[in-house]
């Protein structure tokens, strides 16, 4: 599914992926193994996050798995040496958890990012770094669609720390010449995402619910608009910005084929599944306080500059996701991790 | 010098000032003592920062001094109880130090701010909080003068962390109803500032230099524009936003009477001093990498909304500063702290 000429530029490259046992990291790892890269996956398997050993089923022997935490500065200093590319994907992603425990979010999304970049600067200044940022840093959109020039104005602790994490990367590019690209991801979905709860995105929990014949829960009136990127498209973008020197020092939005309301998403999901239902419930107070309203991205910068666009339609992506969890679901909703 | 009807609203108020032995904190403390407030000053006297016991000379018995660090969560939880107002001024201010040691800047300007706000939320949710932010969060200005709607785009570690610190405050206002106001300070100067080096502002080191008959050092061509707020004007603004409920939840720029180039500032300082000279030197590489170019603020929001404007002209403020350090300089450039 990934462009083969793009893949060929990763042949024999040494690649480190933080969050490598997680959703996007493990899908990226599969593409890189296909490309012939030497892949090291760093992940600490924090139970509340996205890491899951089931994500690398079938990759045994083809990747090196290093169980460690990005908060562990010493091991990272060793791991980063001699790598050609760092895909820096590890992070705490739950907005609600970041409000309940802001200090853990700070450690992972700020402090660790600083120590990763310090390690690059001092021990591998030639490395190419791709950082996974998030649309959450924009806060409540002031205009739609949201382009990269939209003000940064996060409205929850996670958004604040991800903004800082992104700025560290751009600062180390500007001040020290580290070759960094940043992707601001929107809702990414597909096989190997966390589905046992909504810590990664609400859509994960919806996939589990619809396959378990439970109703999908929509907060509010369901008219909130969002955009969705299928994981293969996100992987394509990650590879692209790593391979293209004109992407270094740059920030790019990813996006979806079109804005979709949550109500429509629920209806599409039920239709693709061939059954199920959904319920509208009042916004819980803690979620309402940090809700961002409507969001969808203008991704014309990466489209016009690098030729990326979402290729997998929503219905197709949901069908593939349902098929994956229909087969492998037990490793995701019953797993301890 | 502070408006007396404004001062009267602080009579018998319990006020905590973090960074209370520092430059702005100690000047604020003097105004509050005059107003009849019960003042507690929290400061850890970190040698590289602005705290100096000479700053509270003459206030013995009129304020309570509590030597502790804002990184000390436990003591702060105790200190915040029963306070009416928190002026949250403690911070690491050196841009260059933040690049050399980003982790200390993170601890003070991010982690401590989070723990201070958590303490307010859990132990004193009625407290009024005023946070001292900085123009540094704007980064290199995209337009001049810079108003509060200018994008947040910091270009050094200190700016990144101060942006996070400001956002935490606004988030705790929005999500938990804490009554918070934010002032984005520009170069503040006057008696009791750190002058032994340029860690607080370069102007501090210039005051020392001109009084020591040493040349003022200007980086680059001296055409960089800046604005300057005399400390009494900054204190007036701090009191104003604490007293005015229509300031809560709001962010305000402070500014100076007019933009001044560094060359002109050096010339004015030499003229006011009645002697001295200056030299243009090439920008050191580490400073150039994080230089923000020209900056001056549009402060019309606080002027039109709350009636604040800078009252002390630059020449007058510099004259008062030189007079202060002429008399008390030994406690500032020879002091261990």
Residues of chain B whose beta carbon is less than 8 angstroms from a beta carbon of chain A are: 99, 102-103, 106, 110-111, 114-115, 118, 149, 151-157, 160-161, 163-164, 167-168, 171, 174-175, 289-290
Nearest CA in chain B to A96: B175
Q: What is the ipTM of this complex?
A: 0.92
Cβ proximity of A190 and A152 under 8 Å: no
Band the pLDDT of A325: cuts 50, 70, 90: very high
* Average of per-residue pLDDT across B24-53: 92
Check B289 against A102: CB less than 8 A apart. Answer: no
Output the pLDDT for position B115: 94
Among B106, B151, B289, the residue with its CB nearest the CB of A175 is B289
C-alpha A137/C-alpha A330 separation (Å) is 34
C-alpha A26/C-alpha A39 separation (Å) is 11
C-alpha A252/C-alpha A148 separation (Å) is 7
The crossing angle, in degrees rounded to 10, of helices B73-80 and B112-123 is: 40
Band the pLDDT of B70: cuts 50, 70, 90: confident
Check B106 against A110: CB less than 8 A apart. Answer: yes
Band the pLDDT of A334: cuts 50, 70, 90: confident
Check A155 against B174: CB less than 8 A apart. Answer: yes
Check A160 against B155: CB less than 8 A apart. Answer: no
Residues in CB range of A71: below 8 A, 6 or more apart: A44, A107, A108, A111, A112, A115
Name every chain B residue with its beta carbon within 8 A of the beta carbon of A161: 164
C-alpha B144/C-alpha B121 separation (Å) is 37
Name every chain A residue with its beta carbon within 8 A of the beta carbon of B161: 164
CATH of A4-193+228-256+297-314, one of 3.40.228.10, 3.20.20.70, 3.40.50.720, 3.90.180.10: 3.40.50.720
Band the pLDDT of A290: cuts 50, 70, 90: confident
Output the pLDDT for position B150: 96
Residues of chain A whose beta carbon is less than 8 angstroms from a beta carbon of chain B are: 99, 102-103, 106, 110-111, 114-115, 118, 149, 151-157, 160-161, 163-164, 167-168, 171, 174-175, 289-290
Check B156 against A171: CB less than 8 A apart. Answer: yes
Confidence check: pLDDT of B198 > 90:
no
Sign of CA dihedral B148, B150, B151, B153: negative
Cβ proximity of B3 and B236 under 8 Å: yes
A278 or A93: whose pLDDT is higher? A278
Nearest CA in chain A to B160: A164
Check B103 against A110: CB less than 8 A apart. Answer: no
* Average of per-residue pLDDT across A47-53: 84
Range scoring the smallest mean pLDDT among B36-40, B108-112, B296-300, B330-334: B330-334
Output the average pLDDT for chain B: 94
C-alpha A276/C-alpha A328 separation (Å) is 20
Confidence check: pLDDT of B147 > 80:
yes
* Average of per-residue pLDDT across A166-181: 97
Confidence check: pLDDT of A336 > 60:
no
A94-116 burial, b at 16+ Cβ within 10 Å, e below that, comes to: bbbbbbeebebbbbbbbbbbbbb
DSSP state of B197: S
Cβ proximity of A83 and A41 under 8 Å: no
Output the average pLDDT for chain A: 94
> At B3, phi and psi to the nearest 5?
-55, 125
Q: Over pLDDT 70: what percentage of chain B?
A: 99
Check B157 against A174: CB less than 8 A apart. Answer: no
Shortest distance, CA B176 to any CA of chain A (angstroms): 9
Check A157 against B171: CB less than 8 A apart. Answer: yes
Confidence check: pLDDT of A330 > 60:
yes
Q: Over pLDDT 70: what percentage of chain A?
A: 99
A93 or B24: whose pLDDT is higher? B24
Output the pLDDT for position A72: 80
Name every chain B residue with its beta carbon within 8 A of the beta carbon of A174: 155, 289
SS3 annotation, A49-90: CCCCHHHHCCCCCCEEEEECCCCCHHHHHHHHCCCCEEEECC
Closest among B55, B6, B59, B56 to B35, alpha carbons compared: B6
* Average of per-residue pLDDT across B130-158: 96
Output the pLDDT for position A335: 61
Confidence check: pLDDT of B334 > 80:
no
Nearest CA in chain A to B165: A160
Output the pLDDT for position A93: 87
Check B110 against A114: CB less than 8 A apart. Answer: no
Output the pLDDT for position B333: 82
Closest among A1, A22, A289 to A132, alpha carbons compared: A22
Whole-prediction pTM value? Answer: 0.94
* Average of per-residue pLDDT across B80-93: 95
In tens, the pLDDT along B251-279 reads 999 999 999 999 999 999 999 999 999 99
Name every chain B residue with its beta carbon within 8 A of the beta carbon of A168: 102, 157, 160
Among B103, B167, B289, the residue with its CB nearest the CB of A154 is B167
C-alpha A228/C-alpha B227 separation (Å) is 45
Among B110, B163, B175, the residue with its CB nearest the CB of A106 is B110
* Average of per-residue pLDDT across A301-310: 98
Range scoring the smallest mean pLDDT among A133-137, A186-190, A235-239, A330-334: A330-334
Q: How far, in whole angstroms, is CA A190 from its chain's centroid? A: 11
Band the pLDDT of B336: cuts 50, 70, 90: low
In terms of phi and psi (left: phi > 0; alpha: psi -120 to 50; beta: otherwise), the region of A165 is: alpha
Nearest CA in chain B to A174: B289
Best A106, A148, A167 member to test B by mutation, with max B CBs in 10 Å, is A167
Q: How far apart are the first and last CA of chain A?
A: 28
C-alpha B258/C-alpha B281 separation (Å) is 25
Output the pLDDT for position B1: 66
CATH of B4-192+228-256+296-312, one of 3.90.1150.10, 3.40.50.720, 1.10.260.40, 3.20.20.150: 3.40.50.720
* Average of per-residue pLDDT across A61-73: 88
CA dihedral A30, A35, A36, A40 (to 10 degrees): -40
Best B171, B172, B292 member to test A by mutation, with max A CBs in 10 Å, is B171
Band the pLDDT of B215: cuts 50, 70, 90: very high
């Amino acid at each position: 599914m990934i462009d083969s000429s793009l893949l060929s530029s990763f042949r024999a490259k040494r690649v480190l992926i933080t969050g490598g046992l997680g959703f996007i990291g493990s899908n990226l790892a599969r593409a890189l193994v296909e490309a012939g890269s030497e892949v090291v996956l760093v992940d600490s398997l924090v139970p509340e996050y996205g890491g899951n050993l089931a994500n690398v089923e079938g990759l045994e022997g083809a990747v090196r798995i290093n169980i460690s935490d990005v908060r562990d500065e010493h091991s990272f200093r060793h791991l980063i040496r001699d790598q050609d590319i760092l895909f820096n994907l590890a992070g705490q992603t739950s907005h609600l958890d970041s409000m309940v425990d802001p200090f853990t979010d700070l450690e992972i999304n700020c402090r660790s990012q600083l120590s990763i970049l310090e390690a690059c600067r001092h021990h591998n200044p030639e490395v190419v770094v791709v950082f996974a940022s998030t649309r959450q840093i924009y806060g409540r959109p002031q205009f739609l669609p949201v382009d990269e020039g939209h003000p940064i104005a996060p409205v929850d602790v996670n958004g604040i720390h991800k903004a800082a994490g992104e700025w560290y990367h751009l600062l180390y590019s500007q001040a020290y010449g580290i070759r960094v690209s940043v992707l601001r991801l929107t809702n990414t979905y597909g096989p190997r995402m966390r589905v046992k709860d909504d810590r990664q995105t609400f859509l994960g929990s919806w996939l589990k619910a619809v396959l378990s014949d439970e109703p999908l829960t929509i907060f509010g009136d369901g008219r909130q608009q969002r955009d969705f990127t299928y994981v293969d498209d996100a992987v394509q973008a990650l590879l692209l910005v790593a391979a293209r020197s004109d992407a270094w020092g740059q920030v790019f939005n990813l996006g979806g084929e079109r804005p979709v309301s949550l109500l429509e998403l629920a209806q599409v999901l039920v239709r693709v599944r061939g059954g199920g239902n959904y319920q509208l419930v009042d916004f819980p107070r803690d979620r309402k306080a940090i809700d961002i309203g409507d969001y969808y991205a203008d991704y014309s910068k990466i489209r016009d500059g690098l030729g990326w666009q979402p290729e997998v339609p929503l219905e197709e992506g949901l069908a593939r996701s349902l098929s994956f969890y229909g087969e492998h679901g037990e490793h995701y909703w019953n797993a301890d991790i």
